[in-house]
């Protein structure tokens, strides 16, 4: 199942077509994760069609404000970034949780970033003279949400983890800067989605290895 934000319909349909040609069973469901009404509608539609959800991957993110420090940040941009990078995952999890609880073994994977950690030497919270402020703090908060969800759901058979795909070449500009191939970045997310039943929960990982944050 692919969850794609509003405005990405053509890309979503094209991706589904390509994957279906590879003999994978994939379908498209439009969802705007910045609007609770859209999330609720998508959850109801998913419940009607499938009834149960095994893995929820909260992958929405953006507003990478390189060069912008906390005192330079605009309040509206800060709010928008928190809504996109934190509240979208929080709200989506709340509305899809009933379906995860019906699974024999559910998993939630929050796609975070080293920008939200002290452990990242290049993009972390204490680097670059305090830049990437809104994005970094929103991802730090997403990691905090991961810990809280893991604690709440630990006795309900659901693992909750944050993963960092690393600096990934999702744009031509990033590729020119030496970012890792998309396949390598995606591997961290896949790792979180395929954890075994007694795997870790409440952690922050890149390439299957714990990141200090």
Known active-site residue 135: yes
Single out the catalytic residue among 35, 139, 148, 175: 139
Angle at which helix 133-153 crosses helix 75-82, to 10 degrees, equals 30
Single out the catalytic residue among 48, 135, 154, 175: 135
Separation of alpha carbons 15 and 92, rounded Å: 22
Annotated active-site positions, please?
Answer: 135, 139
């Amino acid at each position: 199942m692919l969850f794609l934000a509003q405005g990405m319909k053509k890309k979503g349909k094209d991706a589904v077509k390509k994957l279906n040609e590879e003999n994978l069973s994939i379908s498209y469901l439009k969802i705007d994760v910045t609007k609770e009404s859209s999330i609720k509608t998508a959850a109801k539609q998913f419940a009607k069609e499938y009834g149960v959800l095994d893995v929820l991957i909260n992958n929405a993110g953006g507003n990478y404000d390189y060069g912008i420090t906390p005192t330079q940040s605009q309040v509206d941009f800060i709010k928008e970034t928190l809504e996109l990078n934190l509240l979208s995952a929080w709200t989506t999890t709340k509305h899809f949780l009933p379906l995860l609880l019906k699974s024999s073994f559910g998993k939630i994977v929050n796609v975070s970033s080293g920008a939200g950690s002290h452990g990242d030497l290049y993009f972390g919270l204490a680097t670059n003279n305090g830049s990437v402020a809104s994005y970094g703090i929103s991802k730090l908060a997403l990691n905090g949400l991961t810990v809280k969800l893991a604690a709440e759901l630990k006795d309900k058979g659901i693992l909750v983890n944050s993963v960092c795909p690393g600096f990934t070449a999702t744009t031509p500009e990033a590729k020119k800067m030496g970012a890792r191939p998309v396949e390598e970045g995606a591997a961290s997310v896949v790792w979180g989605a395929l954890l075994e039943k007694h795997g870790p929960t409440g952690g922050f990982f890149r390439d299957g290895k714990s990141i200090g944050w």
